[in-house]
Amino acid sequence: MNSEQGSVLVVDDVEANRDLLARRLQRQGHTVTLVENGRLAIERLQTQTFDVILCDIMMPEMNGYEVLEQLKTDPALRHIPVIMISALDDIESVVRCIELGAEDYLFKPFNPTLLKARINACLEKKRLRDQEQAYLKQLQAEQEKSERLLLSILPKPVAEQLKQSQNTIADSFAEASVLFADIVNFTALSAHRSAIEVVGLLNHIFSAFDQLAEQYGLEKIKTIGDAYMVVGGIPVPHPDHAGAIAEMAIAMQQAIAQFNQDASEAIAIRIGISTGPVVAGVIGTKKFIYDLWGDTVNTASRMESQGIPGSIQVTEATYYHLQHRYRFEERGTLAVKGKGNMRTYLLKGRTEAAG
């Protein structure tokens, strides 16, 4: 169908008028559908698409004014051009139809050449409107795609700040809980695997961790090689950030155990947790990420790197937050690089009271 041909709905209660319009429109190459009143027109529009509507005014059950009103209040139908055709030649009828949203008005008996010209003009407007709507939908889809990509990199509150053209985003948080996890002996594990197999292994494990982070309302910060970093309590404060981090740590161990069972592997992870103040933000202009800084972050990293394979090592600050709900084993005083001697604990699980 070319730009001068379209699907036309003719609404008129007089059969002779309908037949006359049908013949003339079909000779012009249009596809024509005929209905005898406004109610049937509305029903047909729910199941069939039209490019132009020719609508009489004086009809039983539902007149042309009522058809116009209903069409223009329906978002799915309001963009279809409507040409009113009527024996009423008073200016008030014309003005009322235009105010209700009619595209044009033709008096009966109508001139065939004028009818053709008016319909072609409506078809052109409809074509341009359709192109505009298609472009807007494509633009919206691209914007949503960009938004999803941005939110996969940054937390939503930080993304909103960044969109406001702030050059440096940095916020201080009085308290948060930071978790580092690392696959034990990953270099040896990857030695007999191809690069693709190594990436697939990490993707499988870290994707499971990502789901856990979302489940417990935590913010994944980054992966570094075979290490995984997640934080609780930022950028949106979490009333029980330490508890949420503890739950994720336990669930991570369970996820690794399930992976080992399914894949016949013997992978172990070390997990370290620290609680305290942090600074979080975005710096730079290229390949930026949302990152954390501060002593709490460094300590969590040490808890992991100097931890025991298969165990969850936490600082004393984290222990104080969780001691009444979780079981711990005191590891004792540990010489922590850059920190000196620190008392650390191994998180063993929930207490019976906590379930």
For position 165, what pLDDT does the model report?
Answer: 63
DSSP character at residue 78: T
| pLDDT of 194 strictly over 80 | yes
State how far the alpha carbon of 170 is from the alpha carbons of 13, 147, 152, 232, in Å.
Answer: 70, 21, 19, 17
For position 294, what pLDDT does the model report?
Answer: 93
- Backbone φ and ψ of 277, nearest 5°: -75, 150
Residue for token digits 């290490």?
A: 227
CB 190 within 8 A of CB 255: no
What are the extents of the domains in the chain?
7-147, 154-350
Q: How many CB atoms within 10 Å of residue 165? A: 6
Where are any strands of DSSP class E within the chain? 7-11, 31-35, 52-56, 82-86, 104-107, 169-183, 219-224, 227-232, 269-282, 290-293, 312-315, 326-336, 340-350
State how far the alpha carbon of 205 is from the alpha carbons of 27, 187, 194, 227, in Å.
Answer: 67, 16, 17, 11
pLDDT, tens only, 132-149: 888 888 888 887 777 777
User: How is domain 7-147 classified at the CATH fold level?
Assistant: Rossmann fold (3.40.50)
290-293 and 340-350 beta bridge pairing: unpaired
pTM for the full predicted model = 0.62
Q: Does domain 154-350 have CATH number 3.90.730.10?
A: no
Q: 7-147 and 154-350 share one CATH topology?
A: no
| pLDDT of 276 strictly over 90 | yes
Query: Measured between alpha carbons, how far is 151 from 159 in angstroms, rounded to an integer?
Result: 7
